[in-house]
Amino acid sequence: MSCVPEQVTGYVDDVLDPALRAEVEAHLASCTDCREQVAFERKLRAGLRALPAPELRPGFEVRMLRSLAAERGRRHAWLLPVAAVLTLFVLWARGAAPFVAWELSRDHAHCFAKDRLPAKVWSNDPLEIAAWFEAQGTRIPPVPSGVAELGLVGARYCPLLDRVAAHLYYAGEERRLSVFVLSGPLRFSEGWTARSRGNHVRFLRSAGMTVALVSDKEEDVEAFRSAFRTTVARLGPGLAAADASKTAAAIDPFRRRQPPLTPSGEAGRLEFPRWGCGAAGSAREWHSRGHGFDPRQLHQLQQ
């Protein structure tokens, strides 16, 4: 049996007939991707069930019932209040900070749990990452190349339930941090932070963009927030129109000492040279094999 996502969803929902269910179970025993789909869909359903139901305005039910009484097809009238509640829930969840934080925390854990990070662009240079997103039609704010023991290693787009987010990966020895640049609406107050799925999540606004920081270590989130604010502040109010030299200087004062990624001699292997990582200035070397990145290959160089 080959991978059939619809049948895997039917398996999770327990709607398959016994013969097809047995066939899917046999396939799951040997297919990692389908097992990941099963785990994701089960966690998603559990998370949605755990969300609080939105409160309806007073008199909503009475007005809805009166409207239904005037409509034809009374035998299907029960579908309308259900649809109304579902619509209200979707509208509430789409811009609710706790729900988006749960999505981002899940995506952060999903990406860093892999043997190889699923990045589409590999670089420790923020300008190269920004140029890659710009070529796809997405503008991101200036970000530091690193902070404390964390360094930028790559990026990709990550699909969420109701939007697609630019996802930048920062990593260090036993440390992981995700920076998301979000599109779409999001309701949160300045300084909003929470713990979701074992990770610390903080939302920021910068130059008309919404940025989210996710890490299992709160000190890493706060250190990056401070470095990010400093980076943006160097550009001043003319962020959108800043020239390239000013942007480069603001992104990282150590960037001139950071050579680009270069082949290391071994076929199919890229080497991340040393770079200055924020105030700590710790040096790290990372390796990617093939088209992926294995964070377990990290080792610390002599500083």
134 and 8 together in one domain = no
Does a structural domain hold residue 62? Answer: no
Q: Mean per-residue pLDDT for 1-29?
A: 87
59: number of Cβ within 10 Å: 8
Q: 94-124, pLDDT tens digit by residue?
A: 678 888 999 999 999 999 999 899 999 999 9
Instruction: Quote the pLDDT of residue 92.
Output: 54
- 43, part of any domain: yes
Of 4-18, 30-44, 118-132, 186-200, highest mean pLDDT? 118-132
Q: How many CA atoms lie within 13 A of 41 on its CB side?
A: 16
Q: Both 1 and 101 in a single domain? A: no
Question: What is the tens place of the pLDDT at every residue in 205-259?
Answer: 987 899 999 999 999 999 999 999 988 887 754 454 344 444 555 554 544 334 4
What CA–CA distance (Å, rounded) separates 265 from 47? 46
Indicate the residue type of 273.
P
54 versus 289: the higher-pLDDT residue is 54
Check whether residue 109 and residue 165 sit in a common domain.
yes
Which residues 6+ apart lie within 8 Å of 100 measured at CB?
160, 182, 186, 212
55 lies in some domain: no
Query: Does 158 share its domain with 241?
Result: yes
Do residues 170 and 238 share a domain? yes
Calculated CA dihedral for residues 51, 52, 55, 60, nearest 10 degrees? 60
**In this predicted model, what pLDDT tens digit does every residue of 246-268 receive, in sequence order?**
455 555 454 433 444 433 333 33
Compute the distance between CA of residue 122 and CA of residue 153 in angstroms, rounded to an integer.
6
**Nearest one of 81, 102, 106 to 93, comparing CA atoms:** 102
Prediction pTM value: 0.57
Whether 154 and 45 map to the same domain: the answer is no
Quote the number of domains for the chain: 2
Which residue in the block uniquely carries the two structure tokens 């799951």?
Answer: 28
Q: Which residue, 35, 50, 65, sits at the end of a domain?
A: 50
On whether both 134 and 237 belong to a single domain, the answer is yes
Non-local (6+) Cβ contacts of 113 within 8 A are none
Which tokens sit at 150?
């964390």
Residue 7: pLDDT above 50? yes
31 and 157: one domain?
no
Q: Say how many Å lie between the first and final Cα of the chain, rounded.
A: 52
Q: In this structure, is residue 205 part of a structural domain?
A: yes
Contact by Cβ (8 Å): 266, 244? no
Residue 127, SS3?
helix
Residue 56 lies in a domain: no
SS3 100: helix
273 belongs to a structural domain: yes
Q: Has residue 302 got a pLDDT over 80?
A: no
Clarify whether residues 101 and 46 are in a common domain.
no
Q: Which residues contact 249 (CB under 8 A, 6 or more apart)?
A: 234, 255
CA atoms within 13 A on the CB side of 261: 19
Residue 263 and residue 201 share a domain: yes
Per 3-state DSSP, the chain is made up of helix, strand and coil in percentages (nearest 5) of 45, 25, 35
Phi, psi angle pair for 117, to nearest 5°: -60, 140
User: Cβ(155)–Cβ(166) under 8 Å?
Assistant: yes
Q: Tell me: do 117 and 211 sit in the same domain.
A: yes
Q: Is residue 76 part of a domain?
A: no
User: Has residue 180 got a pLDDT over 90?
Assistant: yes
Q: Which domain holds residue 227?
A: 97-300
Q: How confident is the model at residue 87 (pLDDT cuts 50, 70, 90)?
A: low
Residues facing 272 on adjacent strands: 286
The percentage of the chain sitting over the pLDDT mark of 90, rounded to a whole number, equals 37
Does residue 241 lie within any of the structural domains? Answer: yes
Q: How confident is the model at residue 140 (pLDDT cuts 50, 70, 90)?
A: very high
- Name the residue with higher pLDDT: 243 or 289: 243
Check whether residue 113 and residue 199 sit in a common domain: yes
